[in-house]
Amino acid sequence: MKAMAAMMSMPPPPPSSSSPLASQSLSVPSRQASNLPVLTIPGSHGWPLVGPISDRLDYFWFQGPDTFFRSRMEKHKSTVFRTNVPPSFPFFLRVNPKVIAVLDCNSFAHLFDMEVVEKKDVLVGDFMPSTSYTGDTRVCAYLDTEEPKHGQLKNFALDILKRGSKVWVEELQANLDVFFDTIESDISKNGSSSFLSHLQTFLFNFLSKSLVGADPALDPGVANSGPLSIDLWLGLQLLPTVPILAFQPLVEIFLHSYTYPFALVSGGYRKLYSFIEQHGKEVVQLGEKEFGLSKSDAIHNLIFTLGFNAYGGFSVFLPTLLGTIASDKTGLQARLRDEVRKVCGTSTGLRFDLVKDMELVNSVVYETLRLNPPVQLQYARARKDFQLTSHDSVFDVKKGELLCGYQPLAMRDGKVFEDPESFKPDRFVGKGKELLNYLFWSNGPQTGTPSETNKQCAAKDYVTLSASLIVAHMYRRYDSISGDAGSITAVEKAN
């Protein structure tokens, strides 16, 4: 199974001592209740056993996630309602499927307010894959901000990103050239290139060097098997939660009804562990000496950061970004090409400070993230009783209740985004940057700053800037490309 994951407002200010990409910390959109009516949350969880099974079949089979949430939002005339989400009984006896869905920007923002919600073991809702997949330890993504280890691990992640920034752009461009050389070779031989496997090889090599300081070329076995090992490791963890609308009811019977033993992927995981232990010693020792981690905790968290967050997130996001650009028929490519070459001028290489000035390139990246976030579902559990605010109502939420935000709908909030279903490449240009307060692809607003006190993606700014760098690199190399999210069919080299 292909990798799945967990990845700027105005151009960030100059680098600071704490982060080379530190972004301005702006406030989360206001959720003041003012004079809004206090209503009972509509919807229900249905009869015991029957309700969860019915909702599970709708979500996985009869409707799919998008129609599942849209139809209930329309039925209840509310962007906040009660429902069930998979997995659930009868095969997941310890998983409680009951959630409060939050589907507009105002209610969705509560998912990141750490004063009223907690994030302990809710990365994929009430379901949590076995910790055997992460060395029998709960890695940072499953820790709440109030757990002492969260601060150690989050600061470790932020620090390795800061250190990796010294080689980040160089490694990205070098490996990107290899990727595009391979694409050109495929097109020459076959007339097109199904590029996902090439993209994942590029990502594995680039991210291993930049994040872990480990060069896969030093271990040919890992270099060849690493991407597939991560795909399988990710896939088996998430398979009980991933909608697959084809081949029903076989998928429900044989794929969505069980958890899968770590033993199926343990060999590949051990190879990754040994690879980092041997070739990423400097980063591992940093975790031990400066952040008080054990060697095993440092390595397991590095694998999760590398494989789940970075590799997994980019593997979902970049094909969509490339496909959006390659299939465009509106003249967008010419505009992107002109901006890139105007900003770069006679510069011999790309830098983060250059792409920060490419407003259209950055806006296209943001708009792609808005419409197609790499992670579709966000969860949080009420830390205490509180009042949740949508655009037009206030709802009482009790301590312990699980909130579920379906991001593709929240990011199509018509009260925030004009013509929300359409791809508008200029949406975040000029005054449009104010809308970045409402862009929540990264477990927080795009204008936020990752820290040990929140759960925002540590690499938020690296993701958007790296995506912009890829687009910029592409238009320094090519005048245009043709294709979709699965394949590149033609490239026209720059004159």
Annotated binding site for heme: 457
The number of residues making up the chain comes to 495
DSSP β-ladder status, 193-194 and 394-397: unpaired
Q: What is the dihedral of CA 35, 38, 43, 44, to 10 degrees?
A: 160
Helices and strands, counts by H and E, the chain: 16, 11
Extract the tokens encoding 453. Answer: 């006190």
Q: How far apart are CA 309 and CA 7, in angstroms?
A: 6
Give the three-class secondary structure for 490. strand
Q: How far apart are CA 106 and CA 437, in angstroms?
A: 11
Q: How far apart are CA 440 and CA 109, in angstroms?
A: 8
Contact 101, 437 (CB under 8 A): no
Annotated binding site: 457
Q: How far apart are CA 37 and CA 287, in angstroms?
A: 50
Residue with tokens 């060697």: 295
HSE on the CB side for 168, CA within 13 Å?
A: 21
Where on the phi/psi map is residue 344: left (φ > 0), alpha (ψ -120 to 50), or beta? Answer: alpha
Q: DSSP character for 217?
A: G
Q: At what angle do helices 332-344 and 312-326 cross, to 10 degrees?
A: 110
